[in-house]
Amino acid sequence: MNARRVFVRRSIVGVATLLGIAHLLPGCRKTSATGEENKATTDVTACDDLSAISEEDRAVREKLAYVETSPIPDNQCSNCNLYLPPKKDSKCGGCMLFKGPVFAEAYCTYWAPKG
Ligand code: SF4
């Protein structure tokens, strides 16, 4: 891993730790009492359906200023280094920083270019 990637990874983990969401990052997952891993994404059909998301997790989205349509056309979740592409049967992606569905055209203040 080159020095830039290490720096970016450590910065992301640091910010996530401050926000109390480091367990959502790959390699930083915590397990429940049953040993089941928490998941960064959920299986919902509509990308704006947050009914399965807790208030706490919704607050994290707000802290990061997540919006469904990016105000910066060249900076969207789909080209962010933290974006999790949709799984096979879903049209919604996810984000390494919080739980729940994410629009490919969305954006937040932690947008990071793909390295
Ligand atoms: Fe996650 Fe923000 Fe990147 Fe979208 S822009 S994938 S919400 S970090």
For residue 44, pLDDT over 80 is answered with: no
Q: What is the pLDDT of residues 1-37, one digit of tens each?
A: 455 654 565 566 566 656 666 655 554 444 334 444 4
Q: Which tokens is 100 given?
A: 């729940």
pLDDT digits (tens, 9 = 90+) for 91-111: 899 999 999 999 999 999 999
Burial class (CB in 10 A: 0-12, 13-18, 19+), 89: exposed
Model pTM above 0.95: no
With respect to CATH, is domain 3-95 assigned 3.40.630.10?
Answer: no
Interior CA angle at 66 toward 80 and 85, to 5°? 40
Ligand 1 within 6 A of CB of 82: yes
State if residue 95 touches ligand 1 by the CB under 6 angstroms criterion. Answer: yes
Nearest 10 degrees: Cα torsion 84, 32, 18, 27: -50
Ligand 1 centre distance from Cα of residue 69 (Å) = 11
